[in-house]
Amino acid sequence: MSSAARPGIRLPDRLADRARDVLEGRTPPVAPRDAATVMLLRPVPGASGTDASLQVYMLRRRPSMAFAPGAFVFPGGSLDARDAEIEVGWAGPDALEWGRRIDAPADLARALVCAAVRETFEECGVLLAGPTADTVVADARGEDWEADRAALLERSVSLAGLLRRRGLVLRSDLLRPWSRWVTPVTEERRYDTRFFAAALPVGQRARDVSGEADNAAWIEPADALAAARGREIFLLPPTAVTLGELGACGHLSAALTARRRITALIPEVFVADGAVWLTVPAGLDYPL
């Protein structure tokens, strides 16, 4: 079959055992949870002009986490019930249009955009919202913002509620749909994740504030891939593919104007030569 012609990534033993259990019918597969992740982008500091190369903000997941411990990832996370609130100040394409863009029903699309903005604020203190449809919060640092962020994290407030109280609108137009990855069917924790790209708003700073991370950095995609090849950092396959795509864009404006077709990408799992292998979907370049 087609997978035999594509390079495989050999699964480590722990994941391979679980994969065999699912493939051989001993463990039923689980349904994926909806999730959103955001690649925050900025030009390399000090560079000028539109062809400055870009950096992306990445976090290292704490080694104690259940899903992808120790992996370098983009900020993001699962949808929660608060993301479905309809009464949210909104700028940019409406839910129906977002649904068309990210291959989702309108209600789910709105919730995914909310989750993307919420997670970006929770995990790096960057807020993609503004007082009007064409302005953005200039600086989301300080004690009052930190209190809001803590309230979001402990789920005592929704993003919609926070924006309402501060008189802000969610700037959905600052997000660009990038891709959709679904965790392989064999895994214990599965996510159906929409990837978005966004430029870091002028004036705002990304901060390592997430309790889920023990390291955070702005990094050029090619440098992250080189570090992964040198086994200095660990990247999940979708992260590696996405870094390759961002690197190929070269600079910020190219990444933000890239035309992306969003379909579900699911790494394929198969058994060969006594091992369990994973391949990225055909047509994608696996840069590691």
Partner 1 sequence: MSDSPEARLAALGLALPPVAAPLAAYVPAVRSGSWVYTAGQLPLADGKLLMTGKVGAQVSAAEAAALARTCALNALAAVAAAAGGLSAVTRIVKLVGFVASDPAFTGQPEVINGASELLLEVFGEAGRHARSAVGTAVLPFDAPVEVELIAEVRD
Identify which of residues 182 and 254 has a Cβ nearer to partner 1 in the complex. 182
The conformation of residue 251, written as its DSSP 8-state character, comes to B
Question: Would you count residue 241 as binding partner 1 (CB under 8 A)?
Answer: no
Establish if 37 lies at the interface with partner 1 (CB under 8 A). no
Among residues 2, 48, 64, 156, the one that binds partner 1 under rule CB under 8 A: 2
Q: Is 3 in the site for partner 1 (CB under 8 A)?
A: yes
Number of residues this chain uses to bind partner 1 (CB under 8 A): 26
Is residue 270 close enough to count as binding partner 1 by CB under 8 A? yes
Cα(185)–Cα(271) distance, integer angstroms: 14
| Binder among 7, 10, 13, 29 for partner 1 (CB under 8 A) | 29
Distances (CA, A) of 134 to 7, 88, 169, 181: 46, 16, 10, 31
Q: Which residues 6+ apart lie within 8 Å of 252 measured at CB?
A: 41, 42, 43, 50, 52, 54, 199
Mark the segment that binds partner 1 (CB under 8 A) among 23-31, 65-73, 125-133, 198-206.
23-31
**Using the rule CB under 8 A, which residue among 9, 15, 18, 23 binds partner 1?**
23
Least distance from partner 1 to the Cβ atom of residue 219, Å: 30
**Host H or E run for residue 120:** helix 106-124
> Beta strand 9-10 with 275-279: parallel, antiparallel or unpaired?
antiparallel
Q: If binding is defined by CB under 8 A, does position 146 make contact with partner 1? A: no
In which residue are the tokens 């600052």 written?
174
Task: Give whichever of 6 and 62 is closer to partner 1, judged by the CB atom.
Answer: 6
> Which of residues 37, 120, 186, 193 is near partner 1 by CB under 8 A?
186
Residues 6+ apart with CB under 8 A from 270: 1, 3, 8, 276, 277, 279
Q: Shortest gap between Cβ of 115 and partner 1 (angstroms)?
A: 16
Does residue 244 interact with partner 1 by CB under 8 A? no
Instruction: State yes or no: residue 256 binds partner 1 (CB under 8 A).
Output: no
CB of residue 13 to partner 1, shortest distance in Å? 18
Structure-block tokens of residue 23: 């493939």
Instruction: For residue 28, state whether it binds partner 1 (rule: CB under 8 A).
Output: yes
Least Å distance, CB 192 to partner 1, is 8
Q: How many CA atoms lie within 13 A of 150 on its CB side?
A: 7
- Closest to 112 measured CA to CA, from 197, 192, 35, 169: 35
H/E run at residue 10: strand 9-10
Instruction: Kindly state whether residue 15 participates in binding partner 1, applying the rule CB under 8 A.
Output: no
Please report the sign of the dihedral spanned by the C-alpha atoms of residue 138, residue 79, residue 40, residue 121: positive
By CB under 8 A, which span of 20-28, 41-49, 107-115, 193-201 interacts with partner 1?
20-28
Q: With binding defined as CB under 8 A, does residue 30 bind partner 1?
A: yes
The residue type of 244 is: G
Scanning 22-30, 160-168, 198-206, 248-256 for contacts with partner 1 by CB under 8 A, the matching segment is 22-30
281 part of the interface to partner 1, by CB under 8 A? yes
HSE (side-chain half, CA atoms, 13 Å) at 176: 19
Which of 25, 45, 211, 274 is the binder for partner 1 (CB under 8 A)? 25
